[in-house]
Protein backbone atom coordinates (compact mmCIF):
# COMPACT_ATOMS: atom_id res chain seq x y z
CA UNK A 1 0.00 0.00 0.00
CA UNK A 2 1.25 3.50 -0.74
CA UNK A 3 1.88 5.48 2.41
CA UNK A 4 1.61 9.24 2.79
CA UNK A 5 4.26 11.62 4.10
CA UNK A 6 5.08 11.22 7.78
CA UNK A 7 3.99 13.78 10.34
CA UNK A 8 7.58 15.07 10.57
CA UNK A 9 7.60 15.90 6.84
CA UNK A 10 9.75 12.93 5.78
CA UNK A 11 8.57 10.12 3.53
CA UNK A 12 6.85 7.38 5.50
CA UNK A 13 7.94 4.78 2.93
CA UNK A 14 10.44 4.75 0.09
CA UNK A 15 7.70 3.94 -2.42
CA UNK A 16 6.21 7.40 -1.83
CA UNK A 17 9.45 9.09 -2.98
CA UNK A 18 8.98 7.88 -6.57
CA UNK A 19 7.42 9.72 -8.18
CA UNK A 20 7.25 12.95 -6.20
CA UNK A 21 4.37 15.36 -6.45
CA UNK A 22 6.60 17.71 -8.42
CA UNK A 23 7.45 14.97 -10.91
CA UNK A 24 3.77 14.16 -11.40
CA UNK A 25 3.02 17.83 -12.07
CA UNK A 26 5.94 17.97 -14.49
CA UNK A 27 4.55 14.93 -16.33
CA UNK A 28 1.16 16.63 -16.49
CA UNK A 29 2.73 19.63 -18.15
CA UNK A 30 4.64 17.49 -20.65
CA UNK A 31 1.51 15.59 -21.65
CA UNK A 32 -0.22 18.84 -22.57
CA UNK A 33 1.88 19.29 -25.71
CA UNK A 34 1.62 15.75 -27.10
CA UNK A 35 -0.11 15.55 -30.49
CA UNK A 36 1.67 12.64 -32.18
CA UNK A 37 2.40 14.44 -35.47
CA UNK A 38 5.94 13.08 -35.54
CA UNK A 39 4.81 9.44 -35.24
CA UNK A 40 3.42 6.94 -37.73
CA UNK A 41 -0.18 5.74 -37.52
CA UNK A 42 0.94 2.46 -35.95
CA UNK A 43 2.95 4.33 -33.32
CA UNK A 44 -0.01 6.58 -32.54
CA UNK A 45 -2.20 3.52 -31.95
CA UNK A 46 0.47 2.15 -29.61
CA UNK A 47 0.49 5.49 -27.80
CA UNK A 48 -3.28 5.31 -27.38
CA UNK A 49 -2.99 1.81 -25.93
CA UNK A 50 -0.31 2.80 -23.41
CA UNK A 51 -2.18 5.96 -22.47
CA UNK A 52 -5.31 3.93 -21.73
CA UNK A 53 -3.26 1.55 -19.60
CA UNK A 54 -1.74 4.55 -17.82
CA UNK A 55 -5.23 5.90 -17.04
CA UNK A 56 -6.14 2.57 -15.43
CA UNK A 57 -2.89 2.44 -13.47
CA UNK A 58 -3.46 5.97 -12.21
CA UNK A 59 -6.98 4.99 -11.14
CA UNK A 60 -5.52 2.11 -9.14
CA UNK A 61 -2.98 4.45 -7.57
CA UNK A 62 -5.77 6.89 -6.71
CA UNK A 63 -7.60 4.04 -4.95
CA UNK A 64 -4.55 3.14 -2.84
CA UNK A 65 -3.83 6.77 -1.98
CA UNK A 66 -7.48 7.37 -1.10
CA UNK A 67 -7.43 4.47 1.36
CA UNK A 68 -4.21 5.79 2.88
CA UNK A 69 -5.90 9.18 3.35
CA UNK A 70 -8.88 7.52 5.06
CA UNK A 71 -6.60 5.51 7.36
CA UNK A 72 -4.54 8.54 8.35
CA UNK A 73 -7.66 10.64 8.92
CA UNK A 74 -9.23 7.92 11.08
CA UNK A 75 -6.09 7.53 13.20
CA UNK A 76 -5.73 11.27 13.69
CA UNK A 77 -9.35 11.71 14.69
CA UNK A 78 -9.12 8.71 17.01
CA UNK A 79 -6.20 10.43 18.75
CA UNK A 80 -8.26 13.62 18.92
CA UNK A 81 -11.07 11.76 20.71
CA UNK A 82 -13.58 11.81 17.84
CA UNK A 83 -16.28 9.14 18.41
CA UNK A 84 -16.01 6.12 16.11
CA UNK A 85 -19.24 6.87 14.26
CA UNK A 86 -18.10 10.40 13.40
CA UNK A 87 -14.60 9.65 12.11
CA UNK A 88 -13.90 10.50 8.46
CA UNK A 89 -17.16 12.43 8.26
CA UNK A 90 -16.93 14.69 5.22
CA UNK A 91 -14.01 12.75 3.73
CA UNK A 92 -16.01 11.71 0.66
CA UNK A 93 -16.77 15.37 -0.07
CA UNK A 94 -13.06 16.19 0.30
CA UNK A 95 -12.15 13.41 -2.14
CA UNK A 96 -14.74 14.79 -4.55
CA UNK A 97 -13.21 18.28 -4.42
CA UNK A 98 -9.73 16.87 -5.00
CA UNK A 99 -11.00 14.93 -8.03
CA UNK A 100 -13.12 17.85 -9.30
CA UNK A 101 -16.24 15.74 -8.97
CA UNK A 102 -19.63 15.86 -7.23
CA UNK A 103 -19.98 14.72 -3.60
CA UNK A 104 -22.11 11.75 -4.71
CA UNK A 105 -19.30 10.57 -6.96
CA UNK A 106 -16.81 11.29 -4.18
CA UNK A 107 -18.64 8.78 -2.00
CA UNK A 108 -18.49 6.20 -4.80
CA UNK A 109 -14.77 6.86 -5.32
CA UNK A 110 -14.12 6.32 -1.60
CA UNK A 111 -16.22 3.15 -1.44
CA UNK A 112 -14.58 1.75 -4.57
CA UNK A 113 -11.12 2.43 -3.20
CA UNK A 114 -11.83 0.75 0.12
CA UNK A 115 -13.35 -2.32 -1.57
CA UNK A 116 -10.51 -2.73 -4.08
CA UNK A 117 -7.67 -2.19 -1.62
CA UNK A 118 -9.17 -4.00 1.33
CA UNK A 119 -11.02 -6.90 -0.28
CA UNK A 120 -10.28 -7.34 -4.00
CA UNK A 121 -6.53 -7.49 -4.63
CA UNK A 122 -6.79 -9.36 -7.96
CA UNK A 123 -9.15 -6.79 -9.46
CA UNK A 124 -6.90 -4.01 -8.15
CA UNK A 125 -3.88 -5.73 -9.73
CA UNK A 126 -5.66 -6.00 -13.09
CA UNK A 127 -6.49 -2.29 -12.87
CA UNK A 128 -2.88 -1.47 -12.01
CA UNK A 129 -1.62 -3.43 -15.02
CA UNK A 130 -4.05 -1.56 -17.27
CA UNK A 131 -6.00 -4.73 -18.17
CA UNK A 132 -9.33 -3.24 -17.12
CA UNK A 133 -10.71 0.28 -16.84
CA UNK A 134 -11.79 2.00 -13.64
CA UNK A 135 -15.41 1.56 -14.74
CA UNK A 136 -15.01 -2.21 -15.12
CA UNK A 137 -13.43 -2.40 -11.69
CA UNK A 138 -16.42 -0.44 -10.42
CA UNK A 139 -18.78 -2.98 -12.00
CA UNK A 140 -17.04 -5.83 -10.18
CA UNK A 141 -17.43 -4.00 -6.87
CA UNK A 142 -21.08 -3.14 -7.56
CA UNK A 143 -22.00 -6.69 -8.53
CA UNK A 144 -20.48 -8.11 -5.33
CA UNK A 145 -21.81 -5.45 -2.95
CA UNK A 146 -24.37 -7.79 -1.35
CA UNK A 147 -21.81 -10.52 -0.62
CA UNK A 148 -19.91 -11.16 2.58
CA UNK A 149 -16.25 -10.15 2.76
CA UNK A 150 -15.19 -13.79 2.33
CA UNK A 151 -17.40 -14.41 -0.70
CA UNK A 152 -16.32 -11.13 -2.29
CA UNK A 153 -12.68 -12.21 -1.91
CA UNK A 154 -13.47 -15.53 -3.59
CA UNK A 155 -15.23 -13.83 -6.50
CA UNK A 156 -12.18 -11.61 -6.87
CA UNK A 157 -9.84 -14.61 -6.92
CA UNK A 158 -11.92 -16.50 -9.51
CA UNK A 159 -12.33 -13.44 -11.71
CA UNK A 160 -8.67 -12.50 -11.71
CA UNK A 161 -7.72 -14.43 -14.86
CA UNK A 162 -10.93 -13.61 -16.77
CA UNK A 163 -11.06 -9.82 -16.55
CA UNK A 164 -8.54 -9.02 -19.29
CA UNK A 165 -10.34 -8.61 -22.61
CA UNK A 166 -13.86 -8.77 -21.15
CA UNK A 167 -16.39 -6.04 -21.98
CA UNK A 168 -18.59 -4.16 -19.53
CA UNK A 169 -21.54 -6.55 -19.69
CA UNK A 170 -19.32 -9.61 -19.56
CA UNK A 171 -17.42 -8.35 -16.50
CA UNK A 172 -20.68 -7.63 -14.67
CA UNK A 173 -22.20 -10.97 -15.67
CA UNK A 174 -19.14 -12.94 -14.59
CA UNK A 175 -19.05 -11.30 -11.16
CA UNK A 176 -22.80 -11.74 -10.71
CA UNK A 177 -22.74 -15.40 -11.78
CA UNK A 178 -19.98 -16.34 -9.34
CA UNK A 179 -21.66 -14.40 -6.55
CA UNK A 180 -25.00 -16.12 -7.09
CA UNK A 181 -23.27 -19.51 -7.00
CA UNK A 182 -21.45 -18.73 -3.76
CA UNK A 183 -24.41 -17.10 -2.05
CA UNK A 184 -27.81 -17.64 -3.74
CA UNK A 185 -29.46 -15.45 -1.13
CA UNK A 186 -27.49 -12.44 -2.36
CA UNK A 187 -29.91 -12.11 -5.28
CA UNK A 188 -32.80 -11.59 -2.87
CA UNK A 189 -30.82 -9.01 -0.91
CA UNK A 190 -29.87 -7.20 -4.13
CA UNK A 191 -33.50 -7.00 -5.22
CA UNK A 192 -34.58 -5.76 -1.78
CA UNK A 193 -31.90 -3.07 -1.81
CA UNK A 194 -32.66 -2.01 -5.37
CA UNK A 195 -36.36 -1.78 -4.61
CA UNK A 196 -35.62 0.53 -1.70
CA UNK A 197 -33.73 2.80 -4.11
CA UNK A 198 -36.67 3.33 -6.47
CA UNK A 199 -36.92 6.95 -7.57
CA UNK A 200 -37.78 9.41 -10.34
CA UNK A 201 -35.22 11.81 -11.82
CA UNK A 202 -35.27 14.66 -14.33
CA UNK A 203 -32.30 15.57 -16.55
CA UNK A 204 -31.94 18.20 -19.27
CA UNK A 205 -31.82 16.97 -22.88
CA UNK A 206 -30.89 18.81 -26.09
CA UNK A 207 -33.35 21.15 -27.84
CA UNK A 208 -35.21 22.16 -24.63
CA UNK A 209 -36.32 18.58 -23.97
CA UNK A 210 -35.88 16.56 -20.78
CA UNK A 211 -35.34 12.97 -19.70
CA UNK A 212 -37.89 11.91 -17.05
CA UNK A 213 -36.54 8.64 -15.69
CA UNK A 214 -38.19 6.20 -13.32
CA UNK A 215 -36.04 3.61 -11.50
CA UNK A 216 -38.68 0.98 -10.73
CA UNK A 217 -39.01 -2.70 -9.85
CA UNK A 218 -39.11 -4.73 -13.04
CA UNK A 219 -42.78 -5.73 -12.77
CA UNK A 220 -43.87 -2.12 -12.29
CA UNK A 221 -41.69 -0.85 -15.11
CA UNK A 222 -43.01 -3.47 -17.53
CA UNK A 223 -46.58 -2.71 -16.45
CA UNK A 224 -46.09 1.02 -17.15
CA UNK A 225 -44.63 0.32 -20.57
CA UNK A 226 -47.43 -2.12 -21.42
CA UNK A 227 -50.15 0.32 -20.36
CA UNK A 228 -48.67 3.12 -22.48
CA UNK A 229 -48.28 0.75 -25.43
CA UNK A 230 -51.92 -0.41 -25.21
CA UNK A 231 -53.13 3.20 -25.12
CA UNK A 232 -50.98 4.09 -28.12
CA UNK A 233 -52.29 1.11 -30.09
CA UNK A 234 -55.90 2.00 -29.25
CA UNK A 235 -55.51 5.64 -30.27
CA UNK A 236 -53.69 4.75 -33.48
CA UNK A 237 -56.50 2.34 -34.34
CA UNK A 238 -58.98 5.18 -33.77
CA UNK A 239 -57.14 7.33 -36.30
CA UNK A 240 -54.80 9.40 -34.11
CA UNK A 241 -52.24 11.06 -36.42
CA UNK A 242 -49.46 11.12 -33.81
CA UNK A 243 -46.71 8.51 -33.77
CA UNK A 244 -46.81 5.74 -31.16
CA UNK A 245 -43.92 7.35 -29.33
CA UNK A 246 -45.67 10.72 -29.22
CA UNK A 247 -48.89 9.17 -27.95
CA UNK A 248 -47.05 7.25 -25.23
CA UNK A 249 -45.19 10.37 -24.10
CA UNK A 250 -48.35 12.49 -24.05
CA UNK A 251 -50.29 9.79 -22.22
CA UNK A 252 -47.55 9.60 -19.59
CA UNK A 253 -47.84 13.34 -18.91
CA UNK A 254 -51.64 13.26 -18.86
CA UNK A 255 -51.87 10.35 -16.44
CA UNK A 256 -49.21 11.64 -14.05
CA UNK A 257 -50.52 15.21 -13.89
CA UNK A 258 -54.23 14.41 -14.27
CA UNK A 259 -54.67 17.03 -16.98
CA UNK A 260 -56.73 16.52 -20.11
CA UNK A 261 -53.95 17.39 -22.58
CA UNK A 262 -50.21 16.97 -22.29
CA UNK A 263 -49.53 20.52 -23.49
CA UNK A 264 -51.83 22.09 -20.85
CA UNK A 265 -49.26 21.99 -18.05
CA UNK A 266 -51.04 22.90 -14.78
CA UNK A 267 -47.85 23.49 -12.78
CA UNK A 268 -45.96 26.61 -11.78
CA UNK A 269 -42.64 27.09 -13.55
CA UNK A 270 -40.09 29.80 -12.77
CA UNK A 271 -38.04 31.42 -15.52
CA UNK A 272 -35.33 34.07 -15.14
CA UNK A 273 -35.06 36.32 -18.19
CA UNK A 274 -33.95 39.84 -19.08
CA UNK A 275 -36.64 42.42 -19.71
CA UNK A 276 -35.26 42.97 -23.25
CA UNK A 277 -35.69 39.27 -24.03
CA UNK A 278 -39.24 39.06 -22.71
CA UNK A 279 -40.55 42.42 -23.91
CA UNK A 280 -38.29 43.07 -26.91
CA UNK A 281 -36.29 41.13 -29.47
CA UNK A 282 -33.10 40.43 -27.52
CA UNK A 283 -31.75 36.89 -27.95
CA UNK A 284 -30.30 36.45 -24.44
CA UNK A 285 -31.50 33.00 -23.25
CA UNK A 286 -33.62 32.67 -20.13
CA UNK A 287 -32.90 30.29 -17.24
CA UNK A 288 -35.58 27.78 -16.27
CA UNK A 289 -35.16 26.62 -12.69
CA UNK A 290 -34.54 22.90 -12.57
CA UNK A 291 -33.56 22.76 -16.25
CA UNK A 292 -31.10 25.43 -17.40
CA UNK A 293 -30.83 27.77 -20.42
CA UNK A 294 -33.88 28.22 -22.66
CA UNK A 295 -33.71 30.05 -26.05
CA UNK A 296 -35.27 33.51 -26.16
CA UNK A 297 -38.00 32.62 -28.73
CA UNK A 298 -39.22 29.76 -26.53
CA UNK A 299 -39.21 32.04 -23.47
CA UNK A 300 -41.46 34.50 -25.31
CA UNK A 301 -43.72 31.70 -26.56
CA UNK A 302 -44.17 30.26 -23.05
CA UNK A 303 -45.12 33.70 -21.73
CA UNK A 304 -47.38 34.46 -24.71
CA UNK A 305 -49.31 31.18 -24.54
CA UNK A 306 -49.79 31.21 -20.76
CA UNK A 307 -53.26 32.16 -19.51
CA UNK A 308 -51.73 34.38 -16.84
CA UNK A 309 -48.16 35.47 -16.04
CA UNK A 310 -46.75 36.95 -12.86
CA UNK A 311 -43.61 39.09 -13.04
CA UNK A 312 -41.19 39.86 -10.23
CA UNK A 313 -38.20 42.11 -10.83
CA UNK A 314 -34.73 40.90 -9.88
CA UNK A 315 -32.24 43.73 -9.39
CA UNK A 316 -28.56 43.39 -10.31
CA UNK A 317 -25.43 45.37 -9.51
CA UNK A 318 -24.51 47.42 -12.63
CA UNK A 319 -20.76 46.80 -12.21
CA UNK A 320 -20.83 43.02 -12.43
CA UNK A 321 -24.43 41.95 -13.11
CA UNK A 322 -24.75 39.88 -9.92
CA UNK A 323 -28.17 39.57 -8.32
CA UNK A 324 -28.61 41.74 -5.23
CA UNK A 325 -32.36 41.96 -4.51
CA UNK A 326 -35.90 41.24 -5.71
CA UNK A 327 -39.31 42.82 -5.36
CA UNK A 328 -41.13 41.73 -2.21
CA UNK A 329 -44.92 41.63 -2.43
CA UNK A 330 -47.43 39.65 -0.38
CA UNK A 331 -44.74 37.35 0.99
CA UNK A 332 -43.01 37.11 4.34
CA UNK A 333 -39.32 37.95 4.42
CA UNK A 334 -38.23 34.35 4.87
CA UNK A 335 -40.18 33.19 1.83
CA UNK A 336 -38.77 35.91 -0.38
CA UNK A 337 -35.24 35.33 0.86
CA UNK A 338 -35.48 31.62 0.14
CA UNK A 339 -36.81 32.24 -3.37
CA UNK A 340 -34.08 34.81 -4.04
CA UNK A 341 -31.28 32.47 -2.93
CA UNK A 342 -32.55 29.62 -5.12
CA UNK A 343 -32.79 32.02 -8.07
CA UNK A 344 -29.30 33.40 -7.42
CA UNK A 345 -27.43 30.14 -6.78
CA UNK A 346 -29.46 27.89 -9.17
CA UNK A 347 -27.75 24.66 -8.00
CA UNK A 348 -25.61 23.54 -5.04
CA UNK A 349 -22.76 26.01 -4.56
CA UNK A 350 -20.09 23.39 -3.82
CA UNK A 351 -17.59 23.29 -6.72
CA UNK A 352 -18.34 20.51 -9.24
CA UNK A 353 -21.65 19.68 -7.54
CA UNK A 354 -24.68 20.55 -9.67
CA UNK A 355 -27.28 18.85 -7.49
CA UNK A 356 -30.56 20.69 -6.78
CA UNK A 357 -30.61 23.03 -3.79
CA UNK A 358 -32.20 21.35 -0.77
CA UNK A 359 -30.79 23.40 2.13
CA UNK A 360 -30.20 27.14 2.52
CA UNK A 361 -27.20 27.44 4.78
CA UNK A 362 -25.54 30.19 6.82
CA UNK A 363 -21.99 30.69 5.54
CA UNK A 364 -21.01 31.97 8.96
CA UNK A 365 -22.96 29.81 11.39
CA UNK A 366 -25.84 31.44 13.23
CA UNK A 367 -24.35 30.05 16.44
CA UNK A 368 -21.21 32.10 15.70
CA UNK A 369 -23.16 35.29 15.12
CA UNK A 370 -23.90 34.86 11.42
CA UNK A 371 -26.87 36.85 10.17
CA UNK A 372 -29.80 35.47 8.20
CA UNK A 373 -29.17 37.53 5.08
CA UNK A 374 -28.62 36.81 1.40
CA UNK A 375 -24.98 37.85 1.72
CA UNK A 376 -24.38 35.29 4.49
CA UNK A 377 -26.27 32.46 2.79
CA UNK A 378 -25.67 29.87 0.12
CA UNK A 379 -27.75 27.15 -1.44
CA UNK A 380 -26.45 23.61 -0.88
CA UNK A 381 -27.62 20.09 -1.54
CA UNK A 382 -28.28 17.94 1.51
CA UNK A 383 -25.00 16.00 1.28
CA UNK A 384 -22.82 19.10 0.94
CA UNK A 385 -24.53 20.85 3.83
CA UNK A 386 -23.85 17.88 6.12
CA UNK A 387 -20.24 17.65 4.92
CA UNK A 388 -19.69 21.32 5.72
CA UNK A 389 -20.63 20.58 9.34
CA UNK A 390 -17.85 17.98 9.72
CA UNK A 391 -14.71 18.74 11.75
CA UNK A 392 -12.11 20.86 10.02
CA UNK A 393 -14.36 22.36 7.31
CA UNK A 394 -14.42 26.18 7.11
CA UNK A 395 -16.58 28.38 4.88
CA UNK A 396 -16.15 32.14 4.62
CA UNK A 397 -17.82 34.86 2.57
CA UNK A 398 -14.92 36.44 0.68
CA UNK A 399 -14.82 40.23 0.29
CA UNK A 400 -15.88 41.81 -2.98
CA UNK A 401 -19.05 42.72 -4.85
CA UNK A 402 -19.58 39.24 -6.33
CA UNK A 403 -20.94 36.58 -3.99
CA UNK A 404 -17.89 34.33 -3.55
CA UNK A 405 -17.56 31.72 -0.81
CA UNK A 406 -14.16 30.36 0.22
CA UNK A 407 -14.02 26.73 1.35
CA UNK A 408 -11.15 25.28 3.36
CA UNK A 409 -11.05 21.49 3.76
CA UNK A 410 -9.58 19.65 6.77
CA UNK A 411 -6.29 19.23 4.88
CA UNK A 412 -6.04 22.98 4.30
CA UNK A 413 -6.88 22.91 0.60
CA UNK A 414 -8.80 25.97 -0.57
CA UNK A 415 -11.65 26.18 -3.06
CA UNK A 416 -13.80 29.06 -4.26
CA UNK A 417 -17.46 29.10 -5.19
CA UNK A 418 -18.97 32.06 -7.06
CA UNK A 419 -22.67 32.54 -7.62
CA UNK A 420 -23.44 31.95 -11.33
CA UNK A 421 -24.14 34.90 -13.60
CA UNK A 422 -27.84 35.48 -14.31
CA UNK A 423 -28.94 35.77 -17.95
CA UNK A 424 -27.46 38.85 -19.59
CA UNK A 425 -25.09 39.65 -16.73
CA UNK A 426 -23.32 43.03 -17.09
CA UNK A 427 -25.45 43.97 -20.09
CA UNK A 428 -28.94 44.54 -18.74
CA UNK A 429 -30.09 46.43 -15.62
CA UNK A 430 -32.47 43.81 -14.22
CA UNK A 431 -34.20 40.53 -14.92
CA UNK A 432 -37.75 39.31 -14.68
CA UNK A 433 -38.84 36.12 -12.98
CA UNK A 434 -41.80 34.62 -14.83
CA UNK A 435 -44.32 32.47 -13.01
CA UNK A 436 -46.93 30.48 -14.95
CA UNK A 437 -49.67 29.88 -12.36
CA UNK A 438 -51.39 26.57 -11.76
CA UNK A 439 -54.49 27.35 -13.79
CA UNK A 440 -52.58 28.41 -16.93
CA UNK A 441 -53.88 26.82 -20.10
User: Residue-wise pLDDT tens for the chain (441 aa)?
Assistant: 333 434 443 433 334 445 788 888 888 888 887 787 788 888 889 989 999 999 999 999 999 999 999 999 999 999 999 898 888 989 999 999 999 998 889 999 999 999 999 999 999 999 999 999 999 999 999 999 888 999 999 999 999 888 988 889 899 999 988 988 888 877 677 767 677 888 888 888 877 788 999 998 888 988 999 999 999 999 999 999 999 999 999 999 889 888 777 776 544 556 677 767 776 777 778 777 767 777 878 777 776 666 555 666 565 666 656 666 655 443 333 567 787 888 888 889 999 988 888 888 888 887 788 887 888 889 899 889 888 888 889 999 998 888 899 999 999 899 999 888 776 655 554 445 445 444 433
The answer to whether residue 51 is domain-embedded is yes
The answer to whether residue 27 is domain-embedded is no
The answer to whether residue 440 is domain-embedded is no
CA-nearest of 142, 141, 123 to 132 is 123
Q: Residues 154, 219: one domain?
A: no
Q: Residues 150, 208: one domain?
A: no
Domain end position, chosen among 196, 220, 235: 196
Q: Residues 59, 141: one domain?
A: yes
Q: Residues 356, 208: one domain?
A: no
Q: Residues 45, 192: one domain?
A: yes
CA 190 – CA 170 distance, rounded (Å): 19
CA 404 – CA 418 distance, rounded (Å): 4
Q: Residues 125, 65: one domain?
A: yes
Q: Residues 82, 155: one domain?
A: yes
Q: Residues 183, 157: one domain?
A: yes
The answer to whether residue 218 is domain-embedded is yes
Structural domain range at position 114 = 40-196
Q: Residues 361, 397: one domain?
A: yes
Instruction: Give the number of other CB atoms < 10 A from CB of residue 200.
Output: 10
Q: Residues 44, 169: one domain?
A: yes
The answer to whether residue 269 is domain-embedded is no
SS3 call for 126:
helix
| 277-288 per-position pLDDT tens digit | 776 777 778 777
| 85-135 per-position pLDDT tens digit | 888 989 999 999 999 998 889 999 999 999 999 999 999 999 999 999 999
Total tally of structural domains belonging to the chain: 3
Could you tell me whether strands 323-326 and 377-380 are parallel, antiparallel, or unpaired per DSSP bridges?
A: unpaired
Q: Residues 64, 186: one domain?
A: yes
Q: Residues 169, 250: one domain?
A: no
The answer to whether residue 364 is domain-embedded is yes
CA 259 – CA 93 distance, rounded (Å): 42
Amino acid sequence: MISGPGDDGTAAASVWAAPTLGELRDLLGRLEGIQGAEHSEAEIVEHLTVMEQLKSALAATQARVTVTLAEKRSLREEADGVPTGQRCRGLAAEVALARQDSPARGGRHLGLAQALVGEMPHTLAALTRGEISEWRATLVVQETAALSREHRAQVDAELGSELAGAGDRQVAALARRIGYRLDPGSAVRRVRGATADRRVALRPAPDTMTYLTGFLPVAQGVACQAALSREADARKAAGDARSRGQIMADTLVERITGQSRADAVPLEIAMIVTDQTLLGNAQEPGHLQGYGPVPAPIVRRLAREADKVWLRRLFTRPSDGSLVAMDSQARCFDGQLRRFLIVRDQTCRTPWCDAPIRHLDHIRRAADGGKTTADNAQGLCEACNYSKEARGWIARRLPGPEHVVGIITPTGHRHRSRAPDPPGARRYPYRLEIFVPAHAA
